[in-house]
Structure 1
């Protein structure tokens, strides 16, 4: 069993996957910061700073004045249907997905530009084809 485990770990796919996960975790931090620190404030300017996280419903009994926030309701032990938090998570997901799409598109464009040959090889004239030579021989035989 130890030998099988060693063989499994020694495979290149496992190491590639491990590197991908580590780089992915670091990339997640960069994309999250990009969205939270740069893109969301710009969107906030256009939407007037709308924050849906305050949109919630308390399921069951609530005190007379209600709860001031989702956190206050959850802290009091109430069953909370926090639709605003879900909506904000969906919006953030769409923003992150779009940013990742744009980054992948940019990387693919750079990658394809790097793979293009700098110069197109000129066509080399190799002379007449085999068929041309055979036709020429046939015509010469007919004339003789």
Structure 2
């Protein structure tokens, strides 16, 4: 059960999709903040009045440019992207590279139950050959991989 889950998670497209969704959400916030901080005030600027400055925003002729909010959202986006890259994408790429080079540890030896069943199968094949009744059975093909 856990091997199937591990195989599912380790598939490249699952990780790419998860990263894409998170980056997409952060980028949506970035674009939304840019719109409310710059584009809306720019449209208001067409008919505004005087100019004065307060904190992390500038008001020009009645249009307020909240550049501090935009910079905050941009930094949040960059931090989110960097965190995802260094904690998810980079380790997954390293693991995939090791697998390609064959540096992944060898799979665990078959369990005692599997070894016993293999011995029983081999003994039955030997007995069938000795009596001349049947040919050695072939191992069944692996089950097809289901797409997720």
TM-score of the pair, normalised by structure 1:
0.32
Structure 1 or 2, whichever has the larger Rg, is 1
Q: Tell me which of the two structures has the higher relative contact order, counting C-alpha pairs closer than 8 angstroms and 6 or more residues apart.
A: 1
TM-score (norm 2): 0.31
